[in-house]
Amino acid sequence: MRHRTLISNRARTLRKAMSEPEVMLWSRLRGRTGERPLFRRQHPIGSIILDFYCPSARLAVEVDGSTHWDDEARARDEVRDRWLRGQGLEVVRVPASSVYADLRQVVDAILQLAEARTAELARRRPAPTTTRSSLRSARGSPPPPLPRWGR
């Protein structure tokens, strides 16, 4: 429990100290308008704090500045990305220079990917199962008892 509190506090601190490219990107991703997917900023997943996260698309967006250019940082990023993919998330790394160069193109690409992933995940979800209460209301009487496996 203490670990979760530490990570949450760290994420809260990072929200107040976002880099300039993160602030620029957040200004375009924030808010929910129409059918556009919702994004969170500085969102913790396990012990990792993502720059941006779209829960409906299970999409992580990382803005990479100069601190991500050396071999050691790239190796760390690859380990993080592999773990996140293992959790079922798609990871997109956006160079900070791209945010500066063409913010609209970066935002459009992220939104298109989020919408496509949301639709793909919705198609993969199993159909809703019948619940005991829906059976009761449909037939007017309670459903038969479920078998007790392993007893």
**Six token digits for residue 35:** 């059918």
Is 136 part of any domain?
Answer: no
Per the domain annotation, does 60 fall within a domain? yes
Q: What is the pLDDT of residue 150?
A: 44
What is the tally of helices (H) and strands (E) in the chain? 6, 4
pLDDT given at position 35: 77
Q: What is the dihedral of CA 22, 23, 27, 30, to 10 degrees?
A: 60
Evaluate whether residue 145 is within a structural domain: no
8 Å CB contact between 62 and 31: no
Long-range contacts, stretch 116-124, CB < 8 angstroms, 24+ apart: 116/57, 117/54, 117/57, 117/58, 117/59, 117/90, 118/37, 118/54, 118/56, 118/57, 121/56, 121/57, 121/58
| Within-domain flag for 144 | no
Range(s) of the domain holding residue 21 = 2-125
CATH of the domain at 6: 3.40.960.10
Q: What is the C-alpha to C-alpha distance for residues 134 and 138, in angstroms, rounded to an integer?
A: 6
- CA distance to 14, 30, 51, 66, 123, per residue, from 100 (Å): 20, 18, 16, 13, 35
Please tell me the distance from the alpha carbon of residue 146 to that of residue 133, in angstroms, as a whole number: 13
Q: Residue 12: what pLDDT? A: 67
Q: Which pLDDT does position 5 carry in this prediction?
A: 73
Q: Is residue 83 part of a domain?
A: yes
Contacts of 10 (CB under 8 A, 6+ apart): 44, 49
pLDDT (tens place) for every residue of the chain, 151 residues total: 455 677 677 676 776 678 889 999 999 998 767 778 899 998 988 888 899 999 999 999 999 876 667 778 888 889 989 999 999 999 999 999 999 999 999 999 999 999 999 999 988 877 666 555 554 454 455 455 554 544 3
pLDDT, residue 131, reads 58
What is the number of structural domains in the chain? 1
